[in-house]
Structure 1
Amino acid sequence: MNSRVQTNMSEASYWPKAYINVMLLLSLSLIVLVEAEQSPVETLMTFKEGLRDSNGILYDWQSSKPPCNWTGIICDSLTNSAIRGIDLSYKGLSGVLSPVICQLPNLATIEVAGNRFGGPFPAWLSNCTKLVKLDLSFNGFLGPLPEAISDFGSLTHLDISTNGISGSFPESIGRLPKLQYLNVSNCQFSGPIPSLLANLSDLTTLFLSWNFFSSPYLPPSLANLTRLQVFSCARCSLYGPIPTWLENLRELKYLELSYNNFSGSIPKELMHLPKLEMLELYINQLSGNIPAEIGNLSSLTDLDLDSNYLTGPIPEEITLLKNLGLLHLWNNSLTGTIPPGLAELDHLYDISLFKNQLTGNLSWHLGSKSKLHIFDVSSNQLSGLVPPYLCSGGVMLKIILFNNNFQGNFPEEYYSCTTLKRIRVQNNHLSGTVPKGLWGLPNLTILDISNNFFYGSVHPNIGRAIKLQNLIVSHNQLSGPLPKEIGKLQLLENFLASGNSISGWIPSEIGSCSNLRHVYLDANKIVGEIPTSLGFLAYLTELNLAGNQLTGNIPDTFGRLRQLASLNLSHNLLKGRIPSSFSTLDLLSFMLFDLSFNDLSGPVPFPLNGAVSVKSFRANPRLCIPGQPMSKQCSKTESSLRDLLWILSLVLAVCLVIVSIVSIIIRKMMQHKDWSKEKLTMNSHWNIVPFGQLNFGKEEILGSLQRENLIGHGGAGHVYRAMLKNNEFVAVKMLHRRDGDFCQDNGFTAEIETMGSVRQRNILRLLCYLSNNETNLLVYEYMPNGSLGELLQQSKACMLDYAIRFKIALGTAQGLSYLHHDCVPPIVHRDIKPNNILLDDEMVPHIADFGIAKILDKIMPAGYTVSSVPGSIGYIAPEYGYANRVTEKSDVYSFGIVLLELLTGKQPVATEFGEGMDIVRWVAAKLRAGKGLQQILDTRIQWGSEQHMLFLVRIALLCTNNFPHNRPSMKEVVKMLLEARTDKKLENLSSH
């Protein structure tokens, strides 16, 4: 056999072996691939290991069950086997997203919006080669968006909004050829808007709003996005003229460029967008006329041009917009008449034209063909009659016509408008009687008809308006007595009826209006005695009954009105003495105190000071005023008083001797008996450390620590109210003692001295502290309105109108800013919540218990540390779950929760939010779904500008960002709130 044959034979013998080896390797590979495709359970269980599921949402992720039945798993609709997507949005998850998820071969969608994931943008997701939809919105991702974003070549939908993603917007995002939806709003992008976005030829939706772009102009190349339907760049720091190239976006349906600094006129080129449905250009600096070509926008449903500098008339062509629903042109300088053709538009539901210079009459038929919700034309120069059909659609909420020249009767037709919440027609020339049914509308919260010429009486139907908070009828020609049914208005805060001809007695039932704050019945013809029930109105701050014919005595119950700051009873027929109970009021803080022109007698039982002056008692000839020449009668009275006081002093001295003897006996008995759970040793040596001049001694404090004075308790200890000898109050916090080791200082004194040195209006002032071998007592100024947490309860929330809520939010932010930025070293509160925000008699917030957290670390028993309990459930920042520490940014998060609670009236964690949801995710989800603020804000009060409310909600969401670095500092929060208070659009809040 030759060599060639041998070689061939050897080759022949080799190939079968090689073939077998190759086939074996291929088989093994196929087995591995098959196993990978057939084992999604293992992949998902590995993915689950990186997640923190504190709410147990993923309870059904079990290997014994088919994954297509698991929460958040989306499978192919035909085969119900292949996993096509994961949707874990708003499940309260945190932890780490594992790259293992890309091993699912058919994975097309990943949605984890509204959770607490953080860290850098997960660029590894590009390994999910079939991924078409990625939604990471409302999380805590941070850092730059990588240039490698272009590796996500199959994406059609990308949403990274409301994260801490920062840096320049990468040009490489323009290399995602299939992208149709892009949302990067509410991040922290800087630098210019990339012109390469124009390469995204399939893009239909582009949200760029609420970023910090450095370029003031939109790239002209965006004109190439000819398929764009939605474009939003609100608050993008843009200025100059609105670009005319926008007319090239012929598919555009929604255009929002609000909250910028655009100037010049509204381009006529925008009026050539045939499919435009929503045009929002509010809060800019636009000037000139509204183009008459606006009539070309036949698809328009929402037109919002408010808060600019527009002039000229409302073009008649606007009535050609047959689909128009919302028309906001307020806060401009528009002139001329309101086009009567608006009455012919079937879909109109919101007409807001207030604060312009409009003239002429309203169309008689306004509202007859549409279901109006809001009609606000206040602060113009309109005249004529009020149209009778505004409410014919049966859904009207607000009729606001004040500061105009309307005349004639108010239409009878509105008696059946039961949905109405606000009627504000003050400062017009309206006349006739108020329709009887109007008084009793069940959902009415504000009825203001002041400064008109209405006559008749306040009808007993008023008792049906059970939600009424403001009844303002001043300066009309009303007569007759006030009905007793007014006592049914439990939510009434302001009752202003000055300058009428109201007669009869003040009904005693008014004392049942437990939330009354301001009562003005001056300049009427009211007779009889002042009802003592007025003295039981705990929140009454202003009472004006001047210029009537009231008789009898001033009720002694007025001494109970601790919130009272203005009292005017002048020009009546009152007799008798000024009640001695007045001396318990804080008269120094009064703005007005006037009892002049009555027939009062006897001595004034308090010194003249502040608003209480000689003028307060003029024309009361029988009154003995301190420091003034006395009449003979006053001299006799004073002599008699001296004799009486001598007798009383003698009796008092005897009583004191008896009391002292009894006290000694009781003290001896108490030496062998604990009277308090705190085992307080009254006879031990007490050390008192003041932080300023004190007007009380330690005996007054120690004597107040009785069960009947207990006003609160918590993890730190019990809180007592102590009444001092001067009839003032302080609050005393008795800290829990540390068993067996309480007397050790452990830095306690240093912490207390730090707290005592803090001086800021919105920080509760620590007056002093007392200590002995068993107990530590902290003495604070007393807050008569209690805590914000108490007032937010259902029964008391009506006290908190918008102005007060904003005042509380701003004051709390200023207090925290002081602790964080003005104290050296900075002080972190660690437990910001409504129960730790106390309110004084002017509803100014005072942050309480700052520093208590660190103090408790030093005095609580071993094993109990505040670092293990850094706050209260619902207010704890999410980073504590992974970082186990609290910082200033943790306080910012808690403040954001408090702000949301003020806005919504809801607690941070509630079953109504749904499984895995808290207040942050609930609010974010509502906004994201376009539900509007009506479903978010507290329905128990009336809010103002919707844009202002949205601004505050956004501040709250910024504060509650999942990642601490993305939250603003408290100094920045204060700046934003001050901006909100002074914004030219927002200054209109209090009047609408």
Structure 2
Amino acid sequence: MSSLTYFSLGNNRLVGQIPSDIGNSLPKLQILKFQNSKFEGQIPTSLSNATNLIQLDLSNNLMHGSIPSLGLLANLNQVRLGKNSLEADHWAFLASMENCTELIELSLQWNLLDGILPSSVSNISTNLQALVLRGNQISGRIPSTIGKLHNLYILDLSINKLSGQIPSTIGNISHLGHFFLDDNNLSGNIPISIWQCTELLELNFSINDLSGLIPSDLSSSPFYSRGSTLLVVDFSHNNLTGQIPESFGSNNMQQVNLSRNELSGPLPEFFRRMTMLELLDLSYNNFEGPIPTDCFFQNTSAVFLEGNKKLYSKSSTVSFPICGSTSDSTKSNNEASLTKKIHLPLQVIVLLILVPPLTILLFLVSWVLVTLWKRRVFSFSQCSDLFKRCNYVLNWCSGMPSMLGLPQPKRRRVPIPPSNNGTLKKVSYSDIIKATNWFSSNHKISSTQTGSIYVGRFKSEKRLVAIKVFNLNQPGAYESYFIECEVLRSTRHRNIMRPLTLCSTLDHENHEFKALIFKFMVNGSLERWLHSEQHNGIPDRVLCLGQRISIATDVATALDYIHNHVMPPLVHCDLKPSNILLDVDITALLGDFGSAKFLFPDLVSPESLADIGGTIGYIAPEYGMGSQISTGGDVYSFGVLLLEMLTGKQPTDDTFADGVSIHNFVDSMFPDRVAEILDPYMTHEEHQVYTAEWLEACIKPLVALGLSCSMVSSKDRPGMQDVCAKLCAVKETFLQFGDFSL
């Protein structure tokens, strides 16, 4: 083993800590890749002894603590530590990397790095090509010395707390291809030197406080003299003023977003020449005058001009007021049109004949469906195919104007129902694109069977939200979307994660698009807390007994509500720690109702476990034998969850082999040896001393409850109403032992 040079365990979801002596045990190690797993604890300082190390990839794990000194690793060319909970510790590690002269990539995105980025960042390596610090808490100004990193190709400082002006020395990085400063607090003008970066492909300065004009004095810039390579520009959500300079246009541009600024003047004629344009968003500015008509929209799949009150169109094919060249002529034309006799074309007459009966028919069908649904004649999930067919009919009807030869406006944003709390009244596809930076992998926080979840921020909200985007090509995606919408309509409870709003529209390619927007839970999921060894140095990452009791009570209360207070009863069908989210005060909310089922009287038995959903280890055993879906299945999952919270062991833990389940394991130790199976991190809290009295009064009742809920036979399990009562009793008893925080 001591001669090992290549060690890769990535993408295997392994758990535990990296051995603290790994650098001493593997001194000849050159490549270490543990990415996309669940490794916990701190990065071993012994890695500095593996002086031959070339590549280090610990990204997307549960690592915490300070980044250790890597200065002795002179051969390093790639360091990837993104998507952890690592801290900067005054950026001492950065100063130590001055000796890493071969370094090409340093990726530290989505960590807990804070403080001011030191000017010594320029001393890392003149060979550095990628510096990624996205999604941290870095404050202060961007050091001007960053311009010394002449070979940078990717510079990503987005989603931080940076302030001040963009340094003009950025222009010295002539090979820069991707430059991201979005979602900071930057102010001042955009430096004209930015155009000296002659290889730019993507430029994003959105969601800042930048002001002044878009740099236009480019006559001497080689950037334009030989044709721009720039493909994507996003200066949206700033305070930019003036006109769009003529030199800003490039035939190669694919996406231009200048929305929500204070730009003015006429729309530039050069947009007609931009034949590669896929997205053009100039909405919510002060543009005025006519919209160019010849070929202006023909080569773009998404054009947004709303919010410009002084824009008008001379063509009926554009959804803006049809006007003359001035407002006076507009008024006179409108008045004159009132005096003329109205002549209706034949196509309009056909529409007037067909549309009313079709509308009445659709209304009657909808009324019948709702009536039958209320009478339990069929279930909500059973009519999802019917909903899709109705959707096709509506789409066909919406296409009638074009079939009849009538001009129709370009499809615009589809109105979204208001939020349940009134804070997010409308979200469009364009808003979601901006919030997720075109569904960037940097914004993606998790995946589900039916889609992906992104974190983003809408400009109007100034807060992070979780955006669940459904992959409608996946089996069951439609059903998951509809059932979550039905949960939104049918439930209202403090411990249930309800969508803030939704987005149901067409994307820029006219494909159906559906997404749900939720409040972003800063403390993440219960799974991350239960199975993370982040208590060393970060004590708030450990759940004490009182918090676990409180979380269990919250979840039980939510289940009792959907089982006994929603009509018809609702079964979650996928209860597990990753679907329990923790708010800032560790209040638990039950989420992800995509697999949920309403218990209609005629609900058929599932043909397979795939019809139920759920997760191995938490699925009730009777479901595997074709039994009817029932609230007892959720009770079983809750029992497994409660035992997991007490033992710190997942039901799929290697400890449970040869037919032994977490229920059997705990039952074999109950009641005499129950102290031996408790989660050691819970018992190591300073104020918790588990005396015999404590065990008898609090621990054993919880274990007994978990065992009774996870009985093999559903007839032997209690109902959630009884479970709530027992948990409340344990909670009261716990509080009597002293002043412990819940």
> What TM-score, normalized by structure 2, do the two folds share?
0.49
- By relative contact order (CA 8 Å, sep 6+), the higher-ranking structure is 2
Largest Rg, 1 or 2: 1
> What TM-score, normalized by structure 1, do the two folds share?
0.38
